[in-house]
């Protein structure tokens, strides 16, 4: 006779060994838990389908960053937040101390829009910024002048393509102490006699009379002369030398450059600093000081009673023009220049946040920072050119 359970008596219910019954009970409990998990999973899927429109909207809000920075960069540089997809990135903007306050303000405002992007802004000078940019160390560099040919050659040697954008207009302002009541206006020729390399070792305003006497120019008083200005790393240094000192040497101010040689360089024995605030501190501390800085710093210092703005004429006896927003915008003020930003083409395409930040800088809201910190807005045709250059990602020099 078989010993299987089926062979038990028909009068009694089937009997299972205790071990088998216990196992069946455990299986039943597991099946119950699986059923609970299935219900929870269904609820999660239902909630996910309800949020689908929000996710789509978030993806759309980062479409600009994805299109500007490349799909791969956008995927790696974004994260989902409660308000949608957020751009995430970190980079440094370097360059001109003159352009610094514009971009610093824009970076602070952009942080409110995209808190996931950490942007540090520094202003060591146009030259130092160009070095970092052309070495591939920063994606964006500011300059208070165009990049020099030798800087562009370094960029090209390192395989760095750039997009050149004009940002605003500045008037390099000549300043002295508010306590200096001996002078209100200087000509380019005066500045040459006081600041060019021909004025080396001059420590009195009267020392310039040796030069101005050669062309019957200004006769200065015998008072101490302390000169302060930006260093050679600064675009303001380069622009001042090019517009004023080289302008005199090339005969643009009415002097006879055929009868004698004029130098095109600035005297090396003045007190220099890459920080315009340090320059203003020197001006403030010396009664008969003389120096030059960007218009925003000069105007702010004048309003605070720390410096006196001097009017400037191109030629001796010419009209003295005070640096103002109107005179700089109209180019009546003779030491006006454009301000620039340079963007690395590859970084704009692939580094999260770079293209999105440049979009903001060129937006109507971003452009308000130019005049807000004391510089002059570009005219409409220049604004359109910058916008088109950026939209097309047009590389290389854009201005002749």
Collect contacts of 67-70 with beta carbons under 8 A, ≥24 apart: 68/348, 68/349, 68/355, 68/356, 68/358, 68/359, 69/348, 69/349, 69/350, 69/351, 69/352, 69/353, 69/354, 69/355, 69/356, 70/349, 70/350
Is the confidence at residue 295, as pLDDT, over 50? yes
Is the confidence at residue 55, as pLDDT, over 60? no
Kind plus residue range of the DSSP H or E element containing 392 = none
**Residue 261 in domain:** yes
Is the confidence at residue 29, as pLDDT, over 90? no
Residues 124 and 254 in one domain: no
Residues 235 and 312 in one domain: yes
Is the confidence at residue 213, as pLDDT, over 80? yes
Residues 98 and 188 in one domain: no
Is the confidence at residue 376, as pLDDT, over 70? yes
Residue of 43 and 263 predicted with greater confidence? 263
Tell me the average pLDDT across 128-152: 97
**Stated pTM of the model:** 0.72
**Residue 37 in domain:** no
Tell me the average pLDDT across 143-147: 95
pLDDT the model gives residue 43: 46
- What is the band of 86 on the pLDDT scale with cuts at 50, 70, 90? confident
Domains identified in the chain, total number: 2
- Work out the percent of the chain whose per-residue pLDDT is above 90: 76
Residues 203 and 330 in one domain: yes
Cβ within 8 Å of residue 182, ≥6 positions away: 205, 221, 223, 288
Q: How far is CA 380 from CA 146, 294, 386, in A?
A: 20, 23, 10
Residues 104 and 154 in one domain: yes
Helices (H) and strands (E) in the chain, counts: 18, 14
Tell me the average pLDDT across 290-300: 95
pLDDT the model gives residue 82: 31
How high does pLDDT run on average in the chain?
84
Is the confidence at residue 3, as pLDDT, over 50? no
Residue of 165 and 33 predicted with greater confidence? 165
Residue of 39 and 315 predicted with greater confidence? 315
**Residue 320 in domain:** yes
pLDDT the model gives residue 31: 56
- What is the band of 150 on the pLDDT scale with cuts at 50, 70, 90? very high
Residues 93 and 216 in one domain: no
Q: Comparing 15-29, 289-303, 340-354, 360-374, which segment has the lowest mean pLDDT? A: 15-29
CATH assignment at residue 269: 3.40.190.10
CA separation for the pair 307, 297 (Å, rounded): 10
Residues 320 and 357 in one domain: no
Residues 322 and 238 in one domain: yes
Helices (H), the chain: 18-50, 52-61, 63-69, 71-76, 100-113, 126-134, 149-157, 188-195, 209-212, 235-240, 246-249, 276-285, 295-303, 325-329, 345-350, 354-361, 364-372, 380-391
pLDDT the model gives residue 305: 97
- The whole domain housing 150 covers 62-74+87-169+338-391
CA separation for the pair 209, 215 (Å, rounded): 10
Of 317, 334, 351, the residue that ends a domain is 334
- What is the band of 32 on the pLDDT scale with cuts at 50, 70, 90? low
Question: In 10 A of CB 326, how many CB atoms?
Answer: 11
- Which neighbouring-strand residues pair with 79? 86
pLDDT the model gives residue 37: 57
Residues 201 and 143 in one domain: no
Contact yes or no for 145/166 (Cβ under 8 A): no
- What is the band of 34 on the pLDDT scale with cuts at 50, 70, 90? low
Is the confidence at residue 12, as pLDDT, over 80? no
Contact yes or no for 146/339 (Cβ under 8 A): no
**Residue 55 in domain:** no
**Residue 209 in domain:** yes
Instruction: Give the N- to C-terminal CA distance of the chain in Å, as an integer.
Output: 111
**Residue 318 in domain:** yes
**Residue 182 in domain:** yes
pLDDT the model gives residue 285: 97
Q: How far is CA 375 from CA 26, 285, 328, 353, 387, in A?
A: 79, 26, 9, 26, 19
């Amino acid at each position: 006779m078989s010993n299987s359970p089926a062979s038990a008596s028909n009068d009694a219910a089937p009997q299972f060994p205790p071990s088998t019954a216990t196992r069946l009970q455990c299986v039943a409990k597991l099946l119950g838990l699986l059923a609970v998990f299935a219900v929870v999973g269904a609820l999660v899927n239902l909630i996910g389908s309800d949020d689908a429109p929000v996710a789509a909207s978030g993806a759309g809000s980062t479409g600009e960053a994805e299109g500007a920075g490349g799909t791969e960069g956008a995927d790696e540089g974004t994260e989902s937040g409660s308000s949608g997809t957020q751009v995430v990135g970190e980079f440094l903007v370097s360059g001109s101390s003159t352009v610094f306050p514009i971009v610093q303000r824009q970076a602070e405002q952009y942080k409110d829009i995209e808190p996931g992007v950490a942007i540090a802004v520094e202003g060591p000078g146009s030259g130092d910024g160009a070095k970092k940019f052309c070495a591939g160390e920063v994606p964006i560099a500011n300059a208070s002048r165009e990049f020099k040919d030798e800087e562009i050659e370094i960029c090209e040697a390192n395989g760095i393509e750039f997009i050149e954008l004009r940002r605003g207009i500045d008037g390099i302002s000549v300043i002295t102490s508010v306590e200096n009541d001996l002078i209100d206006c200087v000509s380019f020729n005066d500045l040459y006699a006081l600041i060019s390399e021909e004025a080396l070792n001059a420590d009195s305003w009267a020392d310039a009379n040796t030069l101005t006497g050669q062309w019957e120019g200004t006769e200065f008083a015998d008072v101490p002369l302390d000169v302060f200005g930006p260093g050679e790393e600064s675009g303001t240094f380069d622009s001042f030398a090019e517009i004023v000192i080289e302008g005199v040497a090339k005969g643009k101010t009415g002097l006879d450059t055929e009868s004698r040689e004029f130098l095109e360089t600035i005297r090396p024995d003045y007190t220099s600093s890459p920080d315009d605030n340090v320059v203003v501190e020197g001006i403030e501390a010396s009664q008969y000081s003389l120096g030059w800085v960007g218009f925003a710093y000069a105007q702010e210092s004048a309003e605070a009673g720390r410096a006196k703005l001097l009017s400037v004429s191109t030629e001796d006896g010419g009209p003295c023009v005070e640096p103002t927003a109107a005179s700089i915008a109209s180019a009546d003020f003779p030491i006006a220049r454009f301000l620039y930003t340079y963007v690395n083409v590859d970084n704009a395409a692939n580094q999260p946040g770079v293209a999105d930040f440049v979009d903001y800088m060129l937006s109507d809201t971003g452009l308000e920072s130019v005049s807000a910190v004391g510089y002059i807005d570009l005219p409409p045709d220049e604004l359109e050119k910058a916008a088109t250059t950026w939209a097309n990602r047009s590389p290389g020099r854009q201005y002749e």
